[in-house]
Amino acid sequence: MSDLDAFRTEIRAWLEANCPAEMREPVSDEDDVCWGGRNFKPKNEAQKAWLDACVARGYTVPDWPKAYGGAGMSPAEAKVWREEMARIGARPPLSSFGIWMLGPALLKFGTEEQKVHYLNQIARGEIRWCQGYSEPGSGSDLVSLQTFGEDRGDHWVVNGQKIWTSYADKADWIFCLVRTDKANKYQGISFLLFDMATPGVTTRPIKLISGASPFCETFFDNVVVPKSQIVGELNRGWDVAKYLLGHEREMISGAGGGDRLNAIGAVCARNGALHDPILRAELAMFDVDALAYAAMGEKFLDEAKVGRAHPAQPNMMKYAGTELNKRRHELLMSAGGSTALEWESNETGGGKPSRSWLRTKANSIEGGTSEVMLNVVAKRILDLPGA
Amino acid sequence: MPLYHSEDQAMLAETVTGFMADEGGIKKQLRHFRDMNCQDGFGHALWKQFAELGLTGILAGEADGGMGMGHVEAGIVLREIGRNLTPSPFLATSVMGVTALAAASDDLRGRLLPGVIAGETVLAVAVDEGPKHRPERIALAAEKSGNGFRLKGRKDFVVHGASADALIVAARTSGAEGDADGVTLFAVPRDSAGLGHNAVRLVDSSMASHVTFDGVELAGDCVIGEVDGGRAVLGRMLAAGRIGAAAELTGVGQGAFDITTAYLKTRKQFGRLIGEFQALQHRAAHLYSELEIAEAATIKAQQLLDGGSERAELMVSVAKAKAGRACNLAVREGVQMHGGVGMTDEYDIGLYMKRDRALAEFMGDAAYHTERVAQLSGY
């Protein structure tokens, strides 16, 4: 037996013993996700037991170093972990922007002190993070952002506004792009971390077409941020931001796994929707694309873990994955027929099909639009002129 | 297993890439043999060179003198064949034929494999009956005759059939046309009496035969595997051909894409390189994405097939369908982005479009394999 086989046996046995049955069911909605944070209240005992068991072993962030709360798994071991999790349909014990986005940025750009402090908090699910990037006038053209941090010696005083801040009203801390030099467009932005409980921070949820309010407007009115809370160098926050956007795009692309990689034809058939041969054909064509994309996700992760993926590849993944997910929900709506139109009914769990369908429309906008993704691919991967 | 090539596979890829670009290039092979109206549709000298590199026996077992490698490695060769539009009997002979022969008797393998591995023997596969791939129905009759069989019927789309030393033929030894049982695979020698070839040139300059079997008498030792129980070995041969064709398609698509992006960087209109126009950039970037995904699906299917996974069949059809659609997009976009010169014989992009058509049809088109994905998924 190879070391990896032995590792797989160990992981399989541990999961069998520690992953509660309830945590092997798919997540039903946003409320069902374990986000962690100061105000986190476990939905049930199983959720708490699963989180605690994973935290104790570093399994919330299996490939982070042990000193930062991870399990120190190699890329090959982390893949075994993902495969064994998928095999039993286990949910991630903890989901957070800290794990997906800030963590990787800190691992690359943080000081040792920052890593020990913030990464351990993230790994244990103690702090829930949100991301302060977009502004009302700076969407696709993010680098034009105006939120300004005025230098006051040992701290900055931050004023401005962010928008589309996911779960800002529920987050404990924010990682935020702030202009610290008005004369330099790209090299005048710093990457700051601060507590959302700091005086001067207010949030206002935005009601979306899905009826939900996962995004907020976030306002900064003379918010004091100590100088120790910068990641990377002063005025070089754009480097951190770009690096982190790669991880955000990777996350939105669904490459790490999850629903959007699954085929849907068989499920729709069970619900009796496939007497229409044209719809059946569309579902089959979708399934081909979904299964092929799942292989792409696996290949991308394998290559990324050993540094073989093109650095701009997450942009391609984000483009393909989000367009696929939108198509997936268009088809689920078609297959669901008039039942899927119900906005408020028990049968649909309060309009889940239609609300999810509307939610996916943001996939190809948030974290960089499909059009921006194609621009980046054309420029950085295809090396097309003047792009 | 990670979804990228191991060190050994990367070394093989490097060798094959250089070899195919130097020896299998469009001018040296495809255009050369097309323009001389070659009736084989490929060059035997290059086939010998394949043998010198060991490629002819890439899937054959080491005990048979082969390299004992898998579909990932065969796919590496096919991708380069596709990229260079290299005409060769590799897919039918070394991938499909050798896969079928793995189930044959020592005697039959001994008669055919040494020649294949030496680059002297060419095999062709005769599965289709009619213009569309539909191997669920096999009608070609093989009746018991003395100690052997008598074959009567016809096969179509037998690629380079008239140039082959032996045909691997799927025939019906019992039951009705649509039955799963009652199918038997035969190795039919080229000089068999009653075997007729109507060889025609196809759009991509390859040759294919309508083959007639007019009471072809075969000895019992021409049977591959079990009489009436040929579905399993036929299935393995088809899977090998399908994933091989998918790999070749990813190469065709990549080749078309590479010359097209190169063209976008040199052609000027309105005082600008046309690659500066966002309308073309977005289409090129989308195409890149589709080709990457098709390649990933193909490697995944190759690995599953090599590992004997029960998911292999499904993924092979996913790969053939996805590679088919992606490559088709690549050649259509390629011709359009080339503009007027894309319509000329002088430019290579049109050759890619023709090859895509033929490969897309070979062993089931994207529609066939999409339907198969639905059926294998249970709907």
Residues in chain A: 387
Q: What are phi and psi of A164, to 5 degrees?
A: 60, 30
At residue B224, the 3 state secondary structure works out as strand
The predicted model scores a pTM of 0.92
One domain for residues A223 and A286: no
How many pairs of residues across A and B have Cβ atoms under 8 Å apart? Answer: 136
Q: Distance (Å, rounded) from C-alpha A352 to C-alpha A350?
A: 6
Q: Is residue A48 part of a domain?
A: yes
Average pLDDT, chain A: 93
Find the largest Cα–Cα distance for chain A: 71
Is the pLDDT at B325 greater than 80? The verdict is yes
User: In this complex, do A382 and B286 lie within 8 Å of one another by their Cβ atoms?
Assistant: no
Contact yes or no for B198/B189 (Cβ under 8 A): no
| Mean pLDDT within B242-257 | 98
User: In this complex, do B284 and A382 lie within 8 Å of one another by their Cβ atoms?
Assistant: yes
Domain that holds residue A212: 129-236
- Most A CBs within 10 A among B281, B304, B376, hence the mutation to make, goes to B281
Confidence bin at A27 (pLDDT 50/70/90): confident
| Mean pLDDT within B114-125 | 98
Nearest chain A Cα distance for residue B281, angstroms: 6
Q: Can you spell out the DSSP letters for A219-256?
A: EEEEEEEEGGGEESSTTBHHHHHHHHHHHHHHHHHTTT
Q: Distance (Å, rounded) from C-alpha B346 to C-alpha B254?
A: 20
Q: Distance (Å, rounded) from C-alpha B266 to C-alpha B268?
A: 6
- The DSSP H or E segment spanning B154 is strand B148-159
What b/e readout covers B71-94, taking b as 16+ CB neighbours within 10 angstroms? Answer: bbbbbbbbbbbbbbbbbbbbbbbb
Q: Is residue A121 part of a domain?
A: no
What does the pLDDT read at residue A259?
60
Residue of A nearest to B318 (CA): A288
What does the pLDDT read at residue A269?
86
Q: Is residue A106 part of a domain?
A: no
Q: Is residue A105 part of a domain?
A: no
Nearest chain A Cα distance for residue B304, angstroms: 11
One domain for residues A218 and A263: no
For the CA atoms of B83, B85, B86, B91, the dihedral, rounded to the nearest 10 degrees, stands at 80
What is the C-alpha R_g of chain A?
Answer: 21
| Mean pLDDT within A21-34 | 85
Q: Is residue A104 part of a domain?
A: no
One domain for residues A140 and A212: yes
User: In this complex, do B4 and A288 lie within 8 Å of one another by their Cβ atoms?
Assistant: no
Give residue A211's region: left, alpha or beta (phi > 0; psi -120 to 50): left
User: In this complex, do B296 and A385 lie within 8 Å of one another by their Cβ atoms?
Assistant: no
CA angle B99, B3, B321 (to 5 degrees): 60
Domain covering B125-228, topology: Butyryl-CoA Dehydrogenase, subunit A; domain 2 (2.40.110)
pLDDT per residue as tens digits for the range A35-58 = 999 999 998 999 999 999 999 999
One domain for residues A201 and A142: yes
Which of the listed residues A71, A95, A119 is the one where a domain comes to its end? A95
Which range has the worst mean pLDDT, A349-353, B77-81, B237-241, B343-347? A349-353
Residue B312 touches partner A, C-beta closer than 8 Å: no
What does the pLDDT read at residue A26?
82
Is the pLDDT at A256 greater than 70? The verdict is no
What does the pLDDT read at residue B176?
96
Q: Kindly state the percentage of chain A with pLDDT values over 90.
A: 83
What does the pLDDT read at residue A119?
98
Task: Give chain B positions within 8 Å (CB) of A296.
Answer: 292-293, 296-297
- Most A CBs within 10 A among B6, B7, B289, hence the mutation to make, goes to B289
Nearest chain A Cα distance for residue B68, angstroms: 23
Residue A47 belongs to domain with CATH number: 1.10.540
For the domain B232-376, what is the CATH superfamily, name and number? Butyryl-CoA Dehydrogenase, subunit A, domain 3 (1.20.140.10)
Same topology for domains B125-228 and B232-376, yes or no?
no
| Mean pLDDT within B336-361 | 98
Residue of B nearest to A275 (CA): B379
pLDDT per residue as tens digits for the range B7-44 = 999 999 999 999 999 999 999 999 999 999 999 999 99
Confidence bin at A260 (pLDDT 50/70/90): low
Average pLDDT, chain B: 97
One domain for residues A173 and A200: yes
Q: Distance (Å, rounded) from C-alpha B193 to C-alpha B208?
A: 20
Is the pLDDT at A251 greater than 90? The verdict is no
Q: Is residue A386 part of a domain?
A: no
Q: Distance (Å, rounded) from C-alpha B67 to C-alpha B56?
A: 9
Contact yes or no for B58/B16 (Cβ under 8 A): no
One domain for residues A32 and A146: no
Nearest chain A Cα distance for residue B88, angstroms: 28
Nearest chain A Cα distance for residue B110, angstroms: 36
Nearest by CB to A265, which of B293, B315, B374? Answer: B374
Q: Are strands B148-159 and B268-269 parallel, antiparallel or unpaired?
A: unpaired
Confidence bin at A255 (pLDDT 50/70/90): confident
B141-146 CB contacts, 8 Å cutoff, 24+ apart: B141/B171, B141/B172, B142/B171, B142/B172, B142/B173, B142/B184, B142/B186, B142/B218, B143/B173, B144/B173, B145/B217
Is the pLDDT at A272 greater than 80? The verdict is no
Which of the listed residues A207, A236, A265 is the one where a domain comes to its end? A236
User: In this complex, do A287 and B300 lie within 8 Å of one another by their Cβ atoms?
Assistant: no
Contact yes or no for A290/A264 (Cβ under 8 A): yes
Could you tell me the two tokens for B196? 């007729």
The structural domain count of chain A equals 3
One domain for residues A259 and A369: yes
Confidence bin at A205 (pLDDT 50/70/90): very high
Domain map of chain B by residue range? 7-122, 125-228, 232-376
Is the pLDDT at A6 greater than 90? The verdict is yes
Query: Which CATH number describes the domain made up of B7-122?
Result: 1.10.540.10
Q: Distance (Å, rounded) from C-alpha A223 to C-alpha A240?
A: 22
What b/e readout covers A95-105, taking b as 16+ CB neighbours within 10 angstroms? Answer: bbbbbbbbbbb
At residue A159, the 3 state secondary structure works out as strand
Is the pLDDT at A257 greater than 70? The verdict is no
User: In this complex, do A292 and B294 lie within 8 Å of one another by their Cβ atoms?
Assistant: yes
| Mean pLDDT within A200-228 | 95
pLDDT per residue as tens digits for the range B168-190 = 999 999 999 999 999 999 999 99
Task: Give chain B positions within 8 Å (CB) of A292.
Answer: 293-294, 296-297, 318-319, 322
One domain for residues A258 and A372: yes
Q: Is residue A195 part of a domain?
A: yes
